[in-house]
Amino acid sequence: MFKNVFGSGFLVRTAHVILTWVITLILFLHDTDLRKQEERGELVKPVLFVLLVLVSVLLYFAVSLMDPGFVLSDDSDAQFALGVTEEQQDMIPHTPKSLRLRRCGHCLLQQPMRSKHCQTCQHCVRRYDHHCPWIENCVGERNHRWFVLYLAVQLIVLLWAFYMAWSGFTLASTWQVWLRTNGVLLGATTLVAVLSLTVLLLLGSHLYLVSLNTTTWEFMSRHRISYLKHCGADENPFDRGTLRNLWGFFCVWGIVVWEKVYFREDNDPI
């Protein structure tokens, strides 16, 4: 399930953890509401904040080290073995790269629909969304929901941290004295604000795409994807309605046969 923790993303993961706990430490060392509550013996909010930070770190490692849905063999991924008939294959408009014998030019494995080869991970990934450099892993069928959950928890932590950091600024007689007193906290607050905006935009965009049952790769490159480029600008063959899309994304576990969804058949995970 998990890749080698000391792989190419070791430095990125280490930087994430260090940055997270350094900012947390800054919030407790300055005169913020967290520190005031701790000094008064009111430990509920400080402990809850630390636990939420810990959950965000654990989710980060889970998403970062999890198999995103690598295609490892032809046996489990053959389209005809999944129940897509010869007649249905003929229904897809002919393109230079036929879906019937669609094989990856890099790993030479047959690609299930919606999969894509990642040059960084050197694998084809089911329901490929994108390769995220911050987690140093692909986001695909197996870890996409966990990635969205991680973004949601991370956003809560960042907004809470921003509020607490804002409460820690103290007044001073001059600008120079204020800057010496609050300089470190100001830097942490600025960083938290930038990260909050980034995570908010990422979470919003992913929830929007999930509600349409499309991926970042399909949204950005549909004009180059064989099973989508013949569709109209507003046509998505995988869209089953917002509620069903969200339910399928968050609540349906297992490998999905996207060929059957494409042809509007009843679909169950296998």
Question: Phi and psi of 32, rounded to 5°?
Answer: -90, 175
DSSP 7: S
Active-site residue (options: 118, 121, 132, 138) = 132
132 is catalytic: yes
56: Cβ contacts below 8 Å, ≥ 6 apart: 20, 150, 153, 154, 157
3-state helix, strand, coil in the chain (%, to 5): 55, 5, 40
Q: Rg (Cα) of the chain, in Å, rounded?
A: 23
Name the token pair of 73. 């063999």
Burial 219-245 (b: 16+ CB within 10 A, else e): eeebeebbbbeeeeeeebbbeeeeeeb
CA distance 180 to 187: 12
112 DSSP 8-state letter: P
Give which of 202, 226, 229 is closest to 216, Cα–Cα.
Answer: 202
Cβ neighbour number for residue 131 with a 10 Å cutoff: 20
| Contact predicate 172/166, CB 8 Å | no
Dihedral through CA 153, CA 159, CA 160, CA 162, nearest 10? Answer: 140
The catalytic site residues sit at: 132
